[in-house]
Structures are given as structure tokens and as C-alpha cells.
Structure 1
């Protein structure tokens, strides 16, 4: 299978999952400005949404949307324990976190990359602060979002929290988030993904 990615973008999350689960894969870098792959192919012809992550399976099926992709990958490698079993309440809890990260954090940080007017930035940053306080409260009680075990939700959260430095969002009010980032970054699978994308 092929993962179409851009370094440091939200596609880092499934890239981490691929490495953590030791799943065979090929990476294809996409220039998000030109919408061309590193081989000069038109990315829009590969992915109708024209954004990463896009996973192309060996049978030609195309899967988009990070939360869907990471769950699919986790289910391919159940021994990795990156997601609770489908149909369990724990799996619903995982989906709750993935939806929260996508709608409340990913979209918030994404707006800051577009450099909105100062007044709107203040509103967005205030909203993010409230959401991050909630995340920090959870991580103050346990090492990962679902408890003792790293999951695909942590791969996603780690990716989005790393955007804070790029949009100058100060995480200092929540030291637990800094500790969490260090804990996740130290994982071998995460290190491998970061190095491959040139982020280390």
C-alpha cells in the first residue's frame, strides 16, 4: 500500500501508525501547493479530495481522512494493540477522541496556518486553549489518551500538538502536554516516521 503524505502534515499520524504496526508500505511525498507528487503525477487524479493523507491499497481502493485510515491500519495489525477491538465500548471511546482531535484541535490549528485577522486569531486561540486544557486534564491522570497504552488517537494528537510551534501557540500553560510530546516522540515507531519525513 502507498501513503501519500507531506512532511509534518496530518499525514504524519498514519505514517506513525504504519511504523508502530510494522506494516509494509511505500511513501509518496506530495507538494501541497502544486498538488504534484514527488514523481510529477497529478495528485488530484489519485485522490479526489487533493489532500493528504491518502492511502492507496494494493487492490486500488483509495482511503482518505486520517481517523478512518488509522483505524483501518490498526485493524490490519491487531497484535500492535493500537486500537481496541471493533464493536467494543473502548473502540467507541477511541472514536470519540479521534473526532474530538479532528473537529476541535486539527481544525483550530489549521485556521491559524491561514493567518486570519488578529481578532479572529484571538477567538481561535481562546477556543484551542479551552480544548487543550481538557486534553491536559486527561493526560494528567494517565500516560495516553485511552489509558496505559499508546493508540492511534495518540499518533493523531501528537501530530496536531506539534503544529503549535509552527503557529506560535504557547503550550507552556500545560506542562503535561510537553511531557506527553516527549514521551510519544521517544517511541521507536514515532522516531522512524519523524526521521523519514526529515522532521528530526
Structure 2
């Protein structure tokens, strides 16, 4: 907890957010879309604790919530954008950049992390696309995680308008490389 002393009163005022921040998925689960004469309207049907925070979130993110409720399959994209502090406007700024998908594997922890990087393999845009422990997954769960990650990368590339990143999100090499990691290092695989 952080405090700042106010000049006028000398009182200590708490700064920073002490509560967990709301996520679009949590807020959307308490909302519904209503058809009105003017189009679609997001209605919050929540009256529990912190209802005012939910209402503020709805007011501030009405467009994202509408899109999220209309297209629930895009949930991963909206959650990634929220975690990465990106908007459709900030993503468009990366349209002409040469971006790649990178894979980082730590053999000591069996953690596979993927993300969007520049040519110097410096992670861009904040949050990773995937961060999983492969020793806790079956081969099928891992394949599904790769598929979901590539879908998310493709959705991000489309939102950016970045055709180079879009090509990378569809390449077979990424899937092959990640599968090799799974086969080589996962201790849970039974010998064939």
C-alpha cells in the first residue's frame, strides 16, 4: 500500500489500486446486450459488492464490451489487449513493423512462453500470447494451447493490419517446433 501526504491538509491519502482490477470477462458475465431503437445497448445486471466499479467499467469500455458480448469467441483477444494495455488504435501503430512470433522454453521449469517480438527478439506489446507448463498437460491439451495461441496471434495481426505477422501465425513451423519441445522434454509422456 502506498500513501501520499496532501499539502493542504497534511493527511495521508492512499494512492494506487488496492483492489484487484476488473477484467472484461468478469464484467461481461454480469452484462447483457439489449436491442433498442438506436442499436445495441450494454446493460449491467449486477447489484452486488463494488457495483459502482462495474458500472464505471461499463461506461468506460462500452464498445469493447459490446464487441465481446457479440463475439464471445474473441474473448482471448480482448483479454490479451487488456493485459497488454492495447487498444485497436494502438495496435494499428504496429501495422508496418516487422514482427515475429517467438518461443521461449525453459528446460528447468518446463515453461513455454510465446509472444510477439521485433527482429531483435525483444518482446513487444506487453503480455505473452501463451505461458504454460508443459509437464502439466497432455499432448492434446498442448496442441490445443498451440492452436489457441496461433488463433490469438492471427487475430492480433488482423487487428494491426500486419500481413507479415499474419503469415507467421499460420506457419506450420511454429506448431512443429513446439511439438518437438513437448516430445523431448515432457516427462509425462509414456514411451511408445
Q: TM-score, normalised to structure 1's length? A: 0.27
More strand by share: 2
TM-score (norm: length of structure 2): 0.28
Q: Which has the larger radius of gyration?
A: 2
Structure with the largest fraction of helix: 1
